[in-house]
Structure 1
Amino acid sequence: MAEKETLIRHNLIINKLRRSPLTWKELDAYLKQESEIQGLKLDFVQRTFQRHINDILEIYAVSIKSDRSTRRYYIEADEGHVDRSMQAFDILNLLRMGDNSSNVVLFERRRPMGTEHLAGIFHAIRNNLLLKFEYQKYYEAEAEQRKLLPLAIKEAKNRWYVVGQDLDRNAMRVFAVDRMCKLDFGKKQPASRFAKNVELYFKNSFGVLLATEDQEVEEIVLSYSSFQGNYIKSMPLHESQELLVDNEEEVRVRLRLYVTRDLIMEILSVGAQVKVLAPQSLADTVKAEHKKAIEL
């Protein structure tokens, strides 16, 4: 319960300070009120607030500062990349405030495997510990022993992945948690040379696959039907997405990405609702995949 309360407490603090700076007295009153509403112990004494500030910075990359002139706490910058984490905690709070016996919140019945490993992986990340495990690739009969210095946890398509430095290969690798087993912790490790640039490895990637060393970022132009284009406008494929044409005939977008299997599968998933205009190599690949599907 204590761990869950800590996570909910972090969520409340971040969301409240995002809206407006608060004095300690105001923040304390807010947490006391939420404690009564949710039936949890969410408030704490002021002398432990710095520890919570440090944890929030480490876990969510959200920096909470204090303005000495006004004695108010505020968030230094609104980091958009924490929004998904906050959404998850908002749902948790919603469910805690009332039972779900009437099924007013409908969850996907498919649930990813391996989520029981997340707490252990998170512990290893926070403490810079070596992570040892067996990894079963779908295309190999035998599991293999791997050693990883985990740096981040990434979600893609309702599956969870751990990103880190593979110590045997001295390179960045991504492992699906549902294919990991027999997790064990090793000794504390020196800081990884990859630690400060984890997000950059995915800057021009769709999904979770890392580009190969010889790959280059390509300019991708996709033409969607006007109907399907509404979805692409409301939830862009990637942060590089740029709207080129938006009319009754089509919604055309341009992206700068590595062409990976994840991207190809995303394009195929909407069938005839999208046409690849560039690059030609990607158009040929999508065409060939559709042809195989027809033959089946």
Structure 2
Amino acid sequence: MSTLPIIQRYIWLVNTIACFDGRLTFGEISRKWAESPMNDRSPLSRSTFYRYREGIRELFGIALECDAARGNVYYIAQDDCDGRLQTWLLDTLGIANVVSESRALSGRILPEHSPSGGANLVTAVEAMQSGQVLQMSYAGFNPHNIPSTFGIRPYAVKQSMNRWYLIGEGEDGHIRPYAFDRIRELTPTQDTFEFPSGFDVDGLFVHSVGVMTDEKPERVVIKVHDGQANYVRSLPLHHSQEEVEVETYTFELYVRPTVDFIMKLRSYGPAIEVVSPLWLRRQLASEAALTRERNS
């Protein structure tokens, strides 16, 4: 295993144990490496395997443990970290492993581009760990795209709708999301902060679609037409979604009616009818009429 980049070896090992969780001994893992198209004709030694386990724990926070009682088989331990984060990591690493082993399919596996945050994402996470205030130059969607510079306390990072956001408290004391693709510069300062005791990042967005929190949550009732009900069932508009009338394809949600949520409703066009609240029904009807007028 001398020429393959170390990160790809980690990915291969995590994905292999994930696929056969709790069923592979070291010998079986070693044989699977020998049979892998990624193998560069170098065996997987036990000492190298142990070194990779430690590297995976440090880099990804994923623990590959041995169950001696079941014949020294290896499994992915469930630790105290956010289960969603571990699931996301495993899914991401699994896809990366498939792509790495399928170079012959280049041009037939087509991922969608999404802004990743790059080095700024790493800077933000490191500042969260060390409790450092950041100096940020940020260009929001203002008319002239002119960036402003200010200090920010980084509380969390969140992925939403193919974008990564930094959730932080600015100098005005307000907690807001900042899209990483609009951050021009992010620099650690000498100032420090303490993460607020009891602050619930999940709770901040529990009623939101996306990252906007500037509206109060309310009950929204929709009807789904044109055979789109199964799409709405399989990919809910919000986690609070419930089907209240099966025969009329009526769904109820408790959600903040933010721009992000309204844009999601718009994406279904006439297939989604808003029953209530009345103001939202009228707004979407007015927008539909304006669209028809512009296209006439």
Normalized against structure 2, the TM-score is what?
0.76
In the alignment, the residues of structure 1 paired with residue 238 and residue 34 of structure 2 have an alpha-carbon distance, to the nearest angstrom, of: 38
Partner of 1:271: 269
Partner of 1:241: 241
Q: 1:180 Cα shift?
A: 0.7
Task: Determine which of 199, 206, 210 is the counterpart of 1:207.
Answer: 210
Matched, 1:180 2:183: yes
Residues 182-235 of structure 1, C-alpha deviation per residue, up to 9 Å, x if partnerless? Answer: 2222237343117851121111100121x23xx432111111115211111111
Sequence identity of aligned pairs in percent?
22
Partner of 1:281: 279
Residues 255-288 of structure 1, C-alpha deviation per residue, up to 9 Å, x if partnerless? Answer: 1111111001110111100001122222122223
Is contact 2:133-2:193 (8 Å) kept? no
One-letter identity of the residue aligned with 2:270 = A
Partner of 2:154: 150
Residues 147-186 of structure 1, C-alpha deviation per residue, up to 9 Å, x if partnerless? Answer: 22323332222222222233x1233210011111122222
For the structure 1 residues 6 and 218, does the alpha-carbon distance in structure 2 shift closer, same or farther, using more than 3 Å as the test?
farther
For the structure 1 residues 175 and 5, does the alpha-carbon distance in structure 2 shift closer, same or farther, using more than 3 Å as the test?
same
Partner of 2:29: 30
Q: Count residues with an aligned counterpart.
A: 281
Is contact 2:157-2:166 (8 Å) kept? yes
In the alignment, the residues of structure 2 paired with residue 220 and residue 261 of structure 1 have an alpha-carbon distance, to the nearest angstrom, of: 14
Q: 1:27 Cα shift?
A: 6.0
Is contact 1:154-1:162 (8 Å) kept? yes
Is contact 2:219-2:254 (8 Å) kept? yes
Task: Determine which of 152, 164, 169 is the counterpart of 2:168.
Answer: 164
In the alignment, the residues of structure 2 paired with residue 112 and residue 237 of structure 1 have an alpha-carbon distance, to the nearest angstrom, of: 22
One-letter identity of the residue aligned with 1:86 = L
- C-alpha RMSD over aligned residues: 3.8
Partner of 1:86: 90
Q: Which is further off, 215-224 or 80-89?
A: 80-89
Task: Determine which of 221, 244, 250 is the counterpart of 1:252.
Answer: 250
Is contact 1:65-1:76 (8 Å) kept? no
Within 5 Å, give how 1:7-22 maps onto structure 2.
8=11, 11-12=14-15, 15=18, 20-21=21-22
One-letter identity of the residue aligned with 1:90 = G
Q: 1:3 Cα shift?
A: 7.3
Matched, 1:123 2:122: no
Give secondary structure in 2 for the equivalent of 1:89. helix
In the alignment, the residues of structure 1 paired with residue 251 and residue 240 of structure 2 have an alpha-carbon distance, to the nearest angstrom, of: 10
In the alignment, structure 1 segments of 5+ residues that lack a partner are none
Q: Which is further off, 71-80 or 180-189?
A: 71-80
Partner of 1:135: 138
Give secondary structure in 2 for the equivalent of 1:124. helix
Q: 1:292 Cα shift?
A: 3.1
Give secondary structure in 2 for the equivalent of 1:292. helix
Answer with 1 or 2: which has the greater Rg. Answer: 2
Q: 1:50 Cα shift?
A: 6.7
Give secondary structure in 2 for the equivalent of 1:227. coil
Is contact 1:130-1:188 (8 Å) kept? yes
In the alignment, the residues of structure 1 paired with residue 10 and residue 115 of structure 2 have an alpha-carbon distance, to the nearest angstrom, of: 21
